[in-house]
Chain A
Amino acid sequence: DIQMTQSPSSLSASVGDRVTITCRASQGISNYLVWYQQKPGRVPKLLIYSASTLQSGVPSRFSGSGSGTYFTLTISSLQPEDVATYYCQKYNSAPFTFGPGTKVDIK
């Protein structure tokens, strides 16, 4: 099965900072990559699908890129409400493996 890894596992940044999270797949998955945001005590929320398409209602400060085995999620200007754990997920075929998550908080 394809394995998903993320880096860093956690980060702390200031409000207004540009933040980038990396997700890697152990084999190529084209652009079938999904990003979720999970705030503390909440259900995961779909942010980005097809590696770079923003889900309706998601602020434009979020963006995604990548294809094959390397993907990134960028928050252009970190806001307090972005404190959360971010997960990537392969969505090309079952099993739909998730990455281990990147926890983002405010410095």
Chain B
Amino acid sequence: QVQLQQSGPGLLKPSQTLSLTCAISGDSVSNNSTTWNWIRQSPSRGLEWLGRTYYRSKWYNDYAVSVKSRITINPDTSKNQFSLHLNSVTPEDTAVYYCGRGHWPLGFDPWGQGTLVTVSS
């Protein structure tokens, strides 16, 4: 059974960098048939896919246009996890952040437990 466990701080000040980690059990971040995604949810923006990393003989990333200039998603094969870094945060980045495994054509399953990130001065 695949499980995803998120970790990272929940309170940031404007202009800081949001950093979250998603630890994988029951699968490998290097699995060449899955993708590893970050999604966020807020009342104003609903569910918003942020980006993904995946391995297909080499590492690839895709990012949402809305955050493309500020986001990095990195795999860590030594720890079997992946991370989200979102820099220059503003209060508009306040949301619950989820990691999720993508497995064609199923969509995202499972999801991490979610991390509420609040950006406030």
A residues neighboring B (CB under 8 Å): 1, 32, 34, 36, 43-46, 49-50, 55, 87, 89, 91, 94-98, 100-101
Contact = CB atoms under 8 A, between A and B. Distances in A.
A contact face: mostly helix, strand, loop, or mixed: loop
Contacts, number: 55
Interface of B: 37, 46-49, 52, 62, 64-65, 98, 102, 104-109, 111-114
Nearest to B46: A100
Contacts of B105: 32, 49-50, 91
B107 A34 contact: yes
B95 to A, nearest CB: 13
Given A43-B98, A98-B46, A89 B107 contact: yes
Given A1-B65, A43-B111, A43-B113, A98 B106 contact: no
Contacts of A98: 46-49
For A34, A43, A45, the residue with the greatest tally of chain B CB atoms inside 10 Å of its CB is A43
Nearest to B100: A44
By DSSP majority rule, is chain B's interface helix, strand, loop, or mixed?
strand
24 contacts: A1-B65, A36-B107, A36-B108, A44-B98, A44-B108, A44-B111, A46-B107, A49-B105, A49-B107, A50-B105, A87-B46, A89-B108, A91-B104, A91-B107, A94-B52, A95-B65, A96-B102, A96-B107, A97-B49, A98-B47, A98-B48, A98-B49, A100-B46, A101-B46
Contacts of B37: 96
A55 B106 contact: yes
Contacts of B104: 91
Contact of A49 (B47, B49, B64, B106): B106
Contacts of A55: 106, 109
Contacts of A34: 106-108
Contacts of B109: 45-46, 55
A87 B47 contact: yes
A94 B107 CA distance: 12
A21 to B, nearest CB: 15
A67 to B, nearest CB: 13
